[in-house]
Structure 1
Amino acid sequence: MSERVVNVTAPGLLAGAALPHLAASDGAVVNVSSTFGHRPAPGAGYYGASKAALESLTRSWALELATEGVRVNAVAPGPTESEALTASGLPGEAVAEITAREAERVPLGRRGEPGDVAAWIVRLAGPEAGWLTGQVLTVDGGLELA
């Protein structure tokens, strides 16, 4: 199954399986999108479209599941340190060039760390975000402003 199908189908299957438990506990769904879900980039069309679809699902599910007491939000990370580029088969020099170029574009001057994104996922899932649903929070070091 391609990543573009997985980016839309997997969250739906997961949310569907978890819904009885989420409804019983006034739980929350936090989807993981990407800045590509609302910011186009050459070569990322299908990936971006899959993340845009996930953002639309986030807003629709927020409306549909509100009566169940379930909140639905998403985070949209910008460039974040991970093994994704290396795992894609790119040579080390290409990975270094891409990561340096991305860091230069981010106003805060660096790529995100996994903890930068995870902290917001935890906040959106927690009770202090109990009045928040249907939102997509961009966590990108200001990239969207550049």
Structure 2
Amino acid sequence: MNVPDNRFTDKTVIVTGAGSGIGRATAIAFANAGAHVLGVGRREAALLETAREHPSVATFVADICADGAPEAVIEEAARWWGRVDVLVNNAGAAAIVPLGDVTGARITELFALNVTAPSLLARAALPYLREVRGSIVNVSSTFGHRPLPGGSHYAASKSAIEMLTRSWALELAGDDVRVNAVAPGPTESEALAAAGLPDEVVEKIKQDEAAQIPLGRRGTPEEIADWIVHLADPASTWLTGQILTVDGGLELT
């Protein structure tokens, strides 16, 4: 018998990058747990596909790197439901750019999305999170603490997210606002294709990654989403500042 999951009943959750992959799975998982969910992303059609999966998912189209966008996202959630209990900083980009090809503009663009935007979203959400003793869950990567030749600046941006997670956890502990992160290993998503790689290269990378993972396969978005929900669970009252790596054992190799 399926037991109803009501851990997040009447709570408001914001999920960025909710149009596909881990973001879509996370928005649906929180909705299944009773939350009101604001799914945020740049692609309206993709967000609407997510929303069709559950009636408790509302959508907000925004480029979170744009001036004023982080504040607009938080204000939209507050307008709908009057509160913000959880912020999931999932939106981000992977970038395979060898050092010899990197440009200042590419580095700036990558850090704007992977580091600056999550920081500004957290700042804008903070008054609401303090009021309800809420939580932030950042999405890092196994490459936030594992070298990635050819993708060093992507790895550095995720390493920054992990240090932000730990630092915010200490900074906000006095307000009972918890901050944790999940660090997924290679997961089925649109990230590789979105990085501009040809289909045959994407497929080769996927095969190579699966061969390196002790459990023998790439992860699914739903597997990552489950842990994001667990980290944000109001019952996890004594868990903060943690980086949970979910990568099929890749970190051990």
Q: Give 1:135 shift.
A: 0.6
In the alignment, the residues of structure 2 paired with residue 70 and residue 116 of structure 1 have an alpha-carbon distance, to the nearest angstrom, of 25
Q: Give 1:6 shift.
A: 1.8
Partner of 1:139: 246
In the alignment, the residues of structure 2 paired with residue 71 and residue 27 of structure 1 have an alpha-carbon distance, to the nearest angstrom, of 7
In the alignment, the residues of structure 1 paired with residue 111 and residue 188 of structure 2 have an alpha-carbon distance, to the nearest angstrom, of 21
Q: Does 1:114 align with 2:210?
A: no
Residue 43 (structure 1) aligned to one of 139, 147, 150:
150
Deviations 1:92-120 (A, max 9, x none): 21111110110111111110111111111
The higher relative CO (CA closer than 8 Å, separation ≥ 6) is in: 1
Which structure's residues are more often helix, by fraction? 1
Report the identity percentage.
Answer: 66
Q: Would you identify which runs of 4 or more consecutive aligned residues in structure 1 move more than 3 Å?
A: none
Q: How many residues align?
A: 146
Residue 59 (structure 1) aligned to one of 161, 166, 169:
166
Per the normalisation by structure 2, the TM-score is 0.56
Q: Does 1:79 align with 2:186?
A: yes
Partner of 2:136: 29
Q: How does 1:89-104 map to 2 (within 5 A)?
A: 89-104=196-211
Gaps of 5+ in 2: 1-107
> Does the 8 Å contact 1:60/1:134 carry over to 2?
yes
In the alignment, the residues of structure 2 paired with residue 24 and residue 67 of structure 1 have an alpha-carbon distance, to the nearest angstrom, of 12
Q: Give 1:80 shift.
A: 0.6
Larger Rg over CA atoms: 2
In the alignment, the residues of structure 2 paired with residue 29 and residue 91 of structure 1 have an alpha-carbon distance, to the nearest angstrom, of 34
Residue 9 (structure 1) aligned to one of 91, 110, 116:
116
In the alignment, the residues of structure 2 paired with residue 31 and residue 63 of structure 1 have an alpha-carbon distance, to the nearest angstrom, of 15
Per the normalisation by structure 1, the TM-score is 0.96
Q: Give 1:66 shift.
A: 0.6
Residue 128 of structure 1 aligns to a residue whose secondary structure is coil
Amino acid aligned to 1:96: E
In the alignment, the residues of structure 1 paired with residue 217 and residue 111 of structure 2 have an alpha-carbon distance, to the nearest angstrom, of 27
In the alignment, the residues of structure 2 paired with residue 64 and residue 27 of structure 1 have an alpha-carbon distance, to the nearest angstrom, of 14
Q: Give 1:44 shift.
A: 1.4
Gaps of 5+ in 1: none
Residue 141 of structure 1 aligns to a residue whose secondary structure is coil
Q: Give 1:87 shift.
A: 2.1
